[in-house]
Structures are given as structure tokens and as C-alpha cells.
Amino acid sequence: MHNSQESVIKIEIDSGFKCKSRDSIKKSILNHLTYTLSKDKFSATKLDIYMSVALAVKDYLSERWSKTQRTYHNEKAKRVYYLSLEFLMGKSFLNSLVNLGLYDEFNDVVKELGSSLEEIDAAEFDAGLGNGGLGRLAACFLDSMATMELPAYGYGIRYEYGIFFQRIANGYQIETPDPWLRYGSPWEIPRPEYLYPVKFYGYVQTSTDAEGKYICEWKGFSDVMAMAYDIPIPGYKNNTVNNLRLWAAKSSRDFDLSYFNHGNYEQAVSDKVITETLSKVLYPNDNVFEGKELRLKQEYFFVSATLQDIVRRYKKSHAKDFSRFSDMNAIQLNDTHPAIAIAELMRLLIDIEGLSWDESWAITTKTFAYTNHTVLPEALERWSIGLLAKVLPRHIQIIFEINSRFLSEVAGKFPGDNNILGRMSIIEEGEDKKVSMANLAIVGSHSVNGVSALHSGIIKDTLFKDFYLMWPEKFNNKTNGITPRRWLTVCNPALSNLITEAIGEEWVKDLSRLKKLTPFAVDSSFCEKWEKVKVENKNRLAEYILKTNGVKVDPQSIFDCQIKRIHEYKRQLLNVLHAISLYNILKENPKAINCKRTVIFGGKAAPGYYTAKLIIKLANSVADVINNDPAIDDKLKIVFLANYGVSLAEKIIPAANLSEQISTAGTEASGTGNMKFALNGALTIGTLDGANVEILEEVGKDNIFIFGHDSNEVNQLKSSGYCSYNYYNSIDSLKQTINMISSGFFSRDDANRFKPITDSLLYNDHYLLFADYESYMETQRQVEKEFVDKKIWTRKSVFNVAGSGKFSSDRTIAEYNSDIWRLKPVPIKP
């Protein structure tokens, strides 16, 4: 903002990057230990070691960060801004080393200092600033954008508490706060000079100025300051370090000292605490909307600070000429969570910059693009008009105006069709009128995309059908991807090295090259090494399971993994039903199946989601019975691993044989865990849902286990009066399984504990578990047959990795860039 942001240093400090020699690295670490942390070798704790090593890494990031930002400015590059309420970054230490190309150097130096990269990595907290898929996608995109040398910025909130920690006590989920900032983060750079006021509440005063121009002024508001914290985002082995800017709420009272002198000092301090709650905690809901005032304020808080920052940066090169704004800036909305930005940019351009409505609207729609991540009706954001009008009085006016102009356009396009106006209106009529943020995002953007081919099709044909008829050219697909750096190089070094030995290292930046592995699938010495890597990864996970759960699992058994948020649509329950049925088969005849199985669950339930929490208790109760039944003779083990997150995923995925992707067809927009498993050589058992459809296309039908109804069949079943009870009655093993649950076989202390689950399956079964049960069971028997033939399985494992090239987020980002953002890459010179 003010001149406090201008540099005053006149001397030349740009004399090339720091030396990467082991000697300088060692010096730098010891300097940080001695001078930054004031510790010595006697007083240094594990945390101090981590901090000083991380700060040494950060030094390499900082110089590249400055150079990158300066280059973008000097070259007047077009930028993309990725706005998201969630960035699920995980740990940064190993990832930074890999991307900086300093892994071997640091590895040697920390060994010399008596530590290890593994030990240092263990001391880091995950940055868990997200719930699940949407937040992790944002983190993968940042890595890809930096790797592809795109002038890109992430913008979000610096939550003091990320996604809660999960413990399992007596089989139940217990939530505790995530204190990731308790010891400070070595990766963030506070920027107290980047500070913007954000207004809330108050009213709008209208008047006409001297030239007769209509003026709106926001009055009587209270404000909160947004302060920037920057996190460096290094590209893979280039000199690009992009920026993730997260906003923290600070009381505006801190900047108005007179306030504390007004008599009521204690009240003043307590007001300050209240305003700072804004960025305290991430809402732990995944795929469900909750219309809380504080959440709305979080959304507007970060949007308002972000747009002020974008406009400030634009004005540095263009002053008050906004005619080039959309040529210089693209803004991607990660779902509708930041969609209030559409009304906010209109407000800034009209009320603050003095542009006309039409000019402002042209700029806005050319700048914004919207990505939809879910079709579940309960996840769509629909804010009540009353709440919006109270918190954002000017924005509600702007939204009404956008809507009225838009509806005139609709009426012109579809004359005589009255229903269509109601369906497309941004304002939903009814007792409690609502603003549909999805409709606002579509109307205010030039691009609307889904996240897999199937999902984008559903958006066009069903969810946003009317909008598609009106503007077919706006709609497009961008199939999700994952970054191969974190999800292979970092988390599975042994497999990465084996792949590099076979086909060279170019795959890390061009994942389509994994195709070259195909011939190795029939090379027996290669396959032996491949199998050995998987077994070693499984041994490591088995040790972890023994340590955390006290359960001994056989590393030779098939590691069958379902790790993701707990949600009914993802059907963890179907997996549990299978485990019980398998138990029954083995009880009847222990020789019936000669493939040992370890079923691994991980995932958090939203704290307010009763059924999801009961599913966790059921999984743990079933595990207790089966794991302790001597008649099962270790042929089947079930474990629920607590506190699933990015770091636990990095342990589990490299050790997996089977990836469970079993959502009801048509419900999972894409899935990205499915891609991580395939890239690490697991085979998928899945429905034709989300990106599973495209994984099938890439790996071929012989290398994936597809079961169940497809999305068309799901729709047919539902519209023809689906009755789950009939399946229960006609499938014996299903009946037996359900009866065991409902009669208290897994809940001896409370026979009715799981009644809510069995009743909902028997009398509703919204997600069609019973309809897919038989097909799932048969397909699991096929899995067992193929797993016991190690040669066949390993070959298919190699084919899965070879077929995963499409699922790099580099490919996804390249598509966003060529179809939507149209940025030129800006290489950063050494």
C-alpha cells in the first residue's frame, strides 16, 4: 500500500545465487542454529535441528523467490491468481530439497552432523490447510505452475488451526486442534507491510456527484486488517519460486492507538481478540455446505484482501488505465468458495475506480474462470439473502443488479419460457431467499469447468444444463492431476530410482514418458526389482501399523487401501460389508480363499457428520472382532489408521496393492487418490465414476477391476423406484452380513449401536450399496485370483504406472493455460 512497501536499498545486492557446496550448506545450518535460534550442540533439540536445516533450505528459496517476483514485474507478465479457501500443502522440507536439486547435498551434510533427512522430516508439522481433494489439488497445481515457469500466485487464508487431528479412542473418532504454528513455521515470511482493511456490515449511502453521476458509498462498517504471510513455492529444478500468499486477520484497533485511550481499555482488547478469530480455524466440512456467518466472513475477508493486492500490483504498471486488466490477469476460482470476488471486483471498479457498469462487467467476466468440484446438492453454496445483506450490504445490491441484467438476457434468449428464469436466477425464490453462488460464478466467468470427463458431462447435461444451452462455449473439462514430484519422487524414492534407471529421469517433468516402461513389464529381472521395492514399502508400513495400532499384518498379504474423507457417497460401508462377508466365507471354510488380505482404512469424518462417525466406529468394531478371531488364522486383518492426511498418504500409497475407488457412479467429481495409487503401482478396484473412467482408458481393461452400475444405470435404477430391501432378501451373504451388524455381533455392549446404519441401508440406501454389492464381491474374488499369481500382478502393476502419464497436474495446468489463462512461461535466469 503506502510507501512503507517501497524498497529504500540503493546498493546492488543481486550478485547471483548462494553457493550449493556441502561446505556452504553446513555453514549455513550452523549459522542458523547459532545466530537465528541461539542454540549450540548441547542445547539443540530435534526441533532446533529441523528449524536450522529448514532455514538453510529457505535461504535458497528466498533468493530465487525475489528474483522470480522481480522478473515477473520487469517483464510485465500476464499473471494467474489461484483463489482457494484451502491449500493442503503437507510438509515442505523434502519437497523443497527435491525441487531445488539439493537432496544429495543436504543428505550428506545432515548425516555428517549426526542426523538424517528422515529424522528431520519427522519433526515437521503438516500444513493441513484443507479438507481433502479440493485443497490437495490446489497444492499440486502450485507445484506444477512453478515447474512450468508460469507467473502464478496462490491466495488463501493463514488458518491458525488447520484440519483437526484425529485420534481413535474405543473405536470412535476424537478431534483435537491442529497446532501447526505452535513453534512457528520456517517456510512463511511475514509481510506486515502488506496490510489491507476489509470492511463488514454497515449500509450503503447513495448520492449524485457534481457531474450528476450516481455514487454508492459503504458507510457505518467495521473493519478487519488482512496481513500477508508468504510461502515460497519452488518449481522442479528450475529457478522459479512462486508465491503462496495467505492472509491473517489482525485487529484494525492495533493501528488506531487512540482507540485504547477511549476509556474502556479492556473492552478494546477483547474486541481485538474477537476480530482475530476470523482466520483462526479451517471449517472441517468436506463436500457439505454450512451457512455460518463466520465462514462467509472468511470467504469475503480473503477475497477482498486478494483483490486489493491484485489491483495494487496492476496499478504499479498501468496506473488507472483498466483497459488492459483482463489481458494482464486471470483469476481462477477454486469452486464457489471465493465467488464473492465477482461482486467485489465490480464494486472496486465501479465504486472505487469510477468505471461504468458495462466496462466493469466486461473486465470482470473476461478475468474470472470457475472450477466446479462437486455435484452433491448438499455441497452447493447457497447463502441466505438476509445474511449476505447484513454482512455485505453493497455486494447484495451488486448481485441483484447482475441478476436483473442477466435475467433480461435469458428472457431474450428463451422467450416465453418462464420456468427457465426461476431455474437460472442467481437469487433463488422461496421462504428464505438464497443466493446461488454457482449461478453467480457461471454468470460472472468466461469459463466453467468440471474436473473429469464424466463430471464435466454431468455438469453440462444435468447440474448446469440451462447455462450450457445458453453459453455452450463457456463449458470445458479439465481432468485433474497430481504432482509426480511429491507423489512419486518424494514419497517413493526406491520406485522412482528404478524407473529412472530404466527410462531416464525426464519422466519427472514429462510424465507421459512413463509409457516407456511398458516393455519392462515382461522383463523378469526388472519385475523382480519392482516387486522388491513394493515389498520393502509394505514392510515399512507394516512396522508403522504395528507401532500405531498394535496389529501385526503380513507384508505378503494384499494391502487393500481405502483412504479418503469418510462420506456416505464414497461408500466405505460397502468395503466394510465386503470385509464381513469375506470373514463369513473364511469362517465357513478357511481354505475357500488362499489370498491373505489386509484391509486398510484411513480418513476423517466432519465433526458434525453423525453417520460418518458411526461408520468409523463400525470399521473399528469389525476390525476388533476379525483381528482377534483365531479361526481366521491371520488370513484377514482390518486396520483403521488414525489421522489420515498428506503425510500418512505418503506412507500408505507406496505400499498399496489395491486402491479402493468405489463411490456410487456419478457422485465423485474426479478423485485424485485414485491417480496417486496407480502412479505407485497399485491396481484399482472401482466404479465407472470420476477419473476412474479415464484411468480405465489409459491402463486398459485388463489392468483394472471395474464393477457396479454406471452413472446411467444409477439414474435408471433411481427413477424406476429402487428398493434396497429386495436385494437384502434375495442375496444370502448380504442378508447374513446385515443381520450380524443389526443384531449386535460387532457391538456386544449395545446391540442397537449400528441400527441407524442398517436401517438406512435397508429402507433408503441412497448410494445404492446393495445394488452394487454382488458385483463388488465377485470382483474382489477376481482380485484374489490375480494377486496370488505374482507374475501377473506385477506385470499389471507396471502397466498401471506406465499408463499414469496423463494424470500429471503438469498436463492439467498446461490445459488450463492453453484454454483459459493464456500466459507465457517466464523462465528465471540463474
- Binding residues for ligand 26Q, per CB under 6 A? 131-134, 137, 283, 285-287, 289-290, 295, 337, 373-374, 379, 381, 451, 480, 668-672, 690
Of 337 and 796, the one with the shorter C-beta distance to ligand 26Q is 337
Tell me whether residue 377 or residue 630 sits nearer to ligand 26Q (CB atom): 377
Work out how close the CB of 252 gets to ligand 26Q at its nearest, in angstroms, rounded to a whole number: 26
Of residues 371, 479, 672, 812, which has the active-site annotation? 672
Find the shortest distance in angstroms from Cβ 134 to ligand 26Q: 3
Nearest Cα neighbor of 304 from 348, 254, 367, 337 is: 348
Q: How far apart are CA 518 and CA 539, in angstroms?
A: 27
Contacts of 750 (CB under 8 A, 6+ apart): 744
Residues 6+ apart with CB under 8 A from 109: 22, 25, 26, 29
Cβ 485 to ligand 26Q, closest distance in Å?
A: 18
CB of 619 to ligand 26Q, least distance (A): 20
Judge whether 599 and 563 are in contact, CB under 8 Å: no
Of 66 and 611, the one with the shorter C-beta distance to ligand 26Q is: 611
Catalytic residue among 39, 313, 565, 635: 565
Cα separation, 341 vs 368, whole angstroms: 9
676 catalytically annotated: yes
Q: Which is nearer to ligand 26Q, 598 or 670 (CB)?
A: 670
Of the candidates 373, 460, 478, 534, the residue annotated as catalytic is: 373
CA 476 to chain centre: 21
* Residue in the structure block whose three cell numbers are 555428517: 112
Is 34 catalytic? The answer is: no
Q: Distance of alpha carbon 562 from its chain centroid, rounded?
A: 17
User: Which one-letter DSSP state was computed for residue 807?
Assistant: G
Query: Active-site residue among 26, 394, 460, 564?
Result: 564
> Choosing from 570, 571, 637, 709, which is the catalytic residue?
570
CA distance 432 to 620: 41
Helix (H) and strand (E) counts for the chain? 32, 24
Q: Output the smallest distance, CB 480 to ligand 26Q, in A.
A: 5
Closest by CA position to 477, among listed 154, 819, 711, 715: 819
Answer yes or no: are the C-beta atoms of 248 and 231 closer than 8 Å. Answer: no
Q: Which residue has the cell 478423485?
A: 671
Nearer to ligand 26Q, 364 or 449 (CB): 449
Tell me the closest approach of the beta carbon of residue 330 to ligand 26Q, in angstroms.
19
> In whole angstroms, what separates CA 429 from the centre of its chain?
33
Nearest-angstrom CA–CA distance, 175 and 449? 35
Instruction: For ligand 26Q, give the closer residue by CB, 393 or 690.
Output: 690
**Among residues 373 and 796, whose Cβ is nearest to ligand 26Q?**
373
Minimum separation from the CB atom of position 656 to ligand 26Q (A): 18
CA distance 799 to 805: 11
Grid coordinates belonging to 91: 510438509
At residue 620, the 3 state secondary structure works out as helix
The least distance separating ligand 26Q from the CB of residue 729, rounded to whole angstroms, comes to: 33
Annotated catalytic, 565? yes
Q: How far is the CB of 608 from ligand 26Q (least distance, A)?
A: 11
Give the largest Cα separation in the chain, rounded: 92
Task: Give the residue from 437, 519, 550, 509 showing the smallest Cα distance to 813.
Answer: 509
Q: If DSSP codes are grouped into helix, strand and coil, which group holds residue 429? A: coil
Reduced to 3 states, what is the DSSP secondary structure of residue 685?
strand
CB of 670 to ligand 26Q, least distance (A): 4
Of residues 137 and 145, the one with the C-beta less far from ligand 26Q: 137
Alpha helices (H) along 606-683:
610-627, 646-652, 673-679
Beta carbon nearer to ligand 26Q, 344 or 668: 668
Nearer Cβ to ligand 26Q (137/438):
137
* Least spacing, CB of residue 293 vs ligand 26Q, in Å: 11
Query: Would you state the cell numbers that stand for residue 274, as one nine-digit string?
Result: 474477537
DSSP calls for 265-333:
HHHHHHHHHHHGGGGTB----SS-----HHHHHHHHHHHHHHHHHHHHHHHHHHTT-GGGHHHHEEEEE
Q: Where do runs of H (alpha helix) occur along 414-492?
A: 418-424, 437-443, 453-458, 465-470, 484
Closer Cβ to ligand 26Q, 129 or 734, answer by number? 129
Please state the closest distance from residue 710 (CB atom) to ligand 26Q, in A.
Answer: 17
| Cβ-closest position to ligand 26Q | 133
To ligand 26Q, the closest distance from the beta carbon of 738 in angstroms equals: 28
To the query of whether residue 672 is one of the catalytic residues in this protein, the response is yes
Closest of 491, 604, 490 to residue 540, by C-alpha: 491
Pick the catalytic residue from 676, 709, 795, 806: 676
Residues 6+ apart with CB under 8 A from 118: none
What is d(CA 338, CA 307) in angstroms, rounded to the nearest whole number?
11
DSSP letter at 160? S
**Calculated CA dihedral for residues 150, 692, 765, 560, nearest 10 degrees:** -100
Of residues 120 and 134, the one with the C-beta less far from ligand 26Q: 134
Q: Which is nearer to ligand 26Q, 809 or 817 (CB)?
A: 809
**Using a CB cutoff of 8 Å and minimum separation of 24, what contacts does 113-117 make?**
113/26, 113/29, 113/49, 115/49, 115/53, 117/93
Report yes or no: 244 and 233 within 8 Å, Cβ to Cβ. yes
Q: Strand 79-83 vs strand 329-334: parallel, antiparallel, or unpaired?
A: parallel
Catalytic residues: 373, 564-565, 570, 672, 676
